[in-house]
Amino acid sequence: MNKKCYICGKGELVTRKVDVKPYGVPIGKFDAEVCSDCNETFFSEQISDKIDEAAKSKGLWGLEARTKIGQAGNSIDVRISKRIAEFAGLRKGAEVRVYPEGRNRIIIEH
């Protein structure tokens, strides 16, 4: 009998390989336990370490940053860290599309 999900307690955990994509960048398939009900995915500590290593080796580490909204004239602005800008290939003067996706996310696309 399979283990029950640690989160929902309803589904059973099934072992399979899952695609891992930190910040949308695929870094490979890793063994995980996946809940048959809520789809929550659990990695062992050993696999988590492997995922962290793979992410670091592709520069996908420490990309998240906290920032504050500023104001410029009638608009507000957001500072984007150098690391995130370099990762996304954004430069000063680049034209981007900015649009909401739901009420708590804004996409900047180029």
Environment class of residue 108 by beta-carbon count within 10 Å: exposed (0-12), middle (13-18) or buried (19+)? middle
Q: How far is the CB of 15 from Zn ion (least distance, A)?
A: 14
Among 38, 65, 80, 96, binds Zn ion (CB under 5 A): 38
Q: Tell me which residues in 40-59 interact with Zn ion (CB under 5 A).
A: 40
With vertex at residue 19, the alpha carbon angle to CA 14 and CA 108, rounded to the nearest 5 degrees, is 130
Counting residues that bind Zn ion (by CB under 5 A) gives: 8
Residue 39 or 44 having the CB closest to Zn ion: 39
Task: Give helix then strand counts, H and E, for the chain.
Answer: 2, 7
23 and 29 in contact (C-beta within 8 Å)?
Answer: no
Smallest distance, Zn ion to C-beta of residue 19, A: 19
Question: 10 or 17, CB closer to Zn ion?
Answer: 10
Question: Does position 5 bind Zn ion by CB under 5 A?
Answer: yes
Q: Which residues bind Zn ion (CB under 5 A)?
A: 5, 7-8, 11, 35, 37-38, 40
